[in-house]
A and B are shown apart, each in its own frame.
Chain A
Amino acid sequence: MRRTVLIVDDAIFMRTMIADILKGADFEVVGEAASGAEAVEKYKELKPDLVTMDIVMPDMGGIDAVREIIKLDPEARILMCSAMGQQGLVVEAIQAGARDFVVKPFQPSRVLEAVQRLLG
């Protein structure tokens, strides 16, 4: 069965790029969200196997969204997608319940590796 993924990023560009990487590995992108608040709503609705989460977003950032999602579902598998220079925030996100992180710019192989590990 194909695994489902929810992609969270405020840039359409980033969402498109991540979607392309994951689709290539036979994932089904069931939803996209442009803010933390939207991500929480979509998670409730879609219960995806995987969430990719940006950190800096308007209307609830990624870390708060991780906290909210983990509250709803402690088993949620969330992969943080951060830009360079955000190590501190990545640590905070992991403490909040995210499972792993990748740093932009993404290497498709690195993203897929992280995803496999996370779902494996």
Chain B
Amino acid sequence: MSQQQKYAELFAAEAREHLAEMGRALVALEEEPGDRTSLDAIFRSTHTIKGMAAAMGYDVPTRLSHNIESVLDELRSGRRTVSADIIDLLLETVDILESAVEATVAGKTPVDPSAAIERLVLWRLADAGAAEPPLQADTVAQPAPAPEPRRTATPVSRRSDASRLRVDIRRLDALMNLMGELMILRGELKALADQLGAEPLDDAVERAGTLIGEMQAHVVESRMVPVWQIFDRFPRLVRDASRSTGKEVEFVVSGKQLELDRSLLDAIGDPLVHLLRNAVDHGIESPDERERAGKPRVGRIELGARRERSRVVITVRDDGRGIDRERVIEKARRDGLLAASEEATDQMLFRVMARPGFSTAAQITTLSGRGVGLDVVESSVRGLGGSVSFRSEPGIGTSFRLDLPLTLAILRALIVEVDGQVYAVPATFTRESFELDAKAVERAHGREWVRWRGERVPLTRLRTLFNGGEKSGSAREGVGFLSLVGLEFGESRLVISVDEFLGEEEIVIKPFDPPRGAVAVFSGAIVRPDGRPALVLDVGNLS
């Protein structure tokens, strides 16, 4: 990599962070116009971008940030007060600066900044105090109560000690891939050593295995980043969406410190944008409508992240009007997506709404108020080995829940055998494996059920499923004991039956394109320690 290229990449990475910080701090400043900390943070970020851009000889970003800085000087010195107008202007200019930075780094010609600069200069020249009421905290959005403190007072990635290193994600990806290969090799070695039965070899393989395990933990760790790195973009998004739709929204974020694999975090950005936009556009009612319904004028949207066992749960919840179930059901029945006898659970509704094309029916979108891009949300989360569930109550609100694995590339999985074939069930969703007397299986509503953890839960026999509904090997049915796996995804539960448990393994998932027409219950393939492939069950799609 040339020196110039190295600088350009460093510049781009750092500038992006500062741009995100500027957006975040501007929204915070709007909520609390007297907040000196936010004002100073915006100033420092602008200043840093200016210095870096100047050093790179990037003219347009330099001029833009220089002019933003001049406006900030007016505010910092107290000569001018923070108004809604200047926040708007600054946010717009930050967007232009961002596009200029990206264009410049990509070697393209950035937009002409003169119009933006002119507006900043005009603002500075305008008669201070004339027709510019100071911004009230309650005009746009209510400040969130007690924002969660960060672990350190400042974001780790930017302001902490110089002993931290910025590493290109591609290097970490490469490391992770090699780690995956090494994990497979570890399994092969272990199998070989077992075959040969030589004790010194066993010991060496055992020790190497332990070291590889530790190394893997470190590699995984090095890829973890706190979710605020993307959550911090969202206050701005919610603010802009609520402004443009005339809604009033209080946006509350929790669990920002939770850490996730970098590539997972990148991948859930867009789905979350969809869900948040939908919540503002379609979930939250207009202030007047809310008042008529006896609700507070200001709607509330909550975004939260938390750890639950070996998975991460992200929730997006609004207190809006909820989904018009009748409309969705009616439409689904008409289109043959839902049988007349079929019970319409929330999960079923989600399935229906998340079908590609379903949402684009204008009638449904405007009437039911949901569905925009849900198929996109579903498929991206599914692609990450996660699941989406959903709950909605008319007049009370809607919540979405994303269940995600902690990391992408390496998963713990339960290895099972069905009909002579080996399959992997990601541990993200497995709660426990257990055995049950086959006589305890109940039949109701045209399917089988078992009692699990005090609840009646649907049972899916993988053997039946894989054989296209044919009950091959029915000798086992109703006799002896069933080997079962209890699964939980979101708020749903399902029990699957397998022929045999083969144990738990760390698996490295390889991307997988299912052949057209195949049963859509596999999310990927893995290579077993003996070198043979096995399919990974897409648990969310089993029920």
Contacts and interface: CB of A to CB of B under 8 A. Distances in A.
Do A and B make up one complex? yes
Interface of A: 10-17, 20, 31-35, 38, 54, 56-59, 83-85, 104-106
A54 B10 CA distance: 18
B10 A104 contact: no
Nearest to B50: A83
Interface in B149-176: 153-154, 158-162, 166
B54 A58 contact: no
Nearest to A104: B51
B44 A84 contact: no
B345 to A, nearest CB: 50
**Interface hub of A15, A56, A59, A106 (most chain B Cβ within 10 A):** A56
Nearest to B157: A12
Interface residues of B, number: 28
Contacts of A84: 50, 54, 66
A17 B159 CA distance: 18
Given A84-B66, A85-B69, A14 B162 contact: no
Contact of A10 (B10, B158, B166): B158
A16 B55 contact: no
A58 to B, nearest CB: 5
Nearest to B48: A11
A13 B7 contact: yes
B162 A83 contact: no
25 contacts: A10-B44, A11-B51, A12-B14, A12-B166, A13-B10, A14-B48, A14-B51, A14-B52, A14-B55, A16-B6, A16-B10, A20-B3, A34-B158, A34-B159, A34-B161, A34-B162, A56-B43, A56-B48, A57-B44, A58-B159, A83-B47, A83-B51, A83-B54, A84-B66, A105-B56
A101 to B, nearest CB: 13
Contacts of A33: 161-162
B336 interface: no
B166 A58 contact: no
Please name the 5 residue pairs, one residue from A and one from B, whose CB atoms are nearest each other, closest first.
A32-B162, A83-B51, A105-B55, A105-B54, A13-B10
Interface string B435-478: 00000000000000000000000000000000000000000000
Interface string B467-510: 00000000000000000000000000000000000000000000
Contact of B159 (A10, A15, A105): A10
Contact of A56 (B11, B47, B158): B47
Contacts of A32: 162
Nearest to A18: B55
B107 interface: no
B7 A17 contact: yes
Contact of B48 (A10, A17, A38): A10
B44 A58 contact: yes
Contact of B7 (A16, A31, A59, A83): A16
A56 B18 CA distance: 14
Contacts of B197: none
Contact of B162 (A15, A57, A104): A15
Given A17-B7, A20-B3, A59 B159 contact: yes
Nearest to A58: B159
A15 B6 CA distance: 13
A90 B158 CA distance: 24
Contacts of A12: 10, 14, 166
Contacts of B78: none
A16 to B, nearest CB: 6
Contacts of A15: 162
Contact of B161 (A13, A16, A38, A83): A38
A81 B224 CA distance: 34
A53 B11 CA distance: 19
A106 B41 CA distance: 24
Contacts of A16: 6-7, 10
Given A12-B166, A13-B52, A58-B159, 5 more contacts: A10-B44, A12-B14, A83-B51, A84-B50, A104-B55
A11 B14 contact: yes
A17 B69 contact: no
Q: Which of A17, A20, A83, A84 has the most CB of B within 10 A?
A: A83
B57 interface: yes
B101 to A, nearest CB: 12
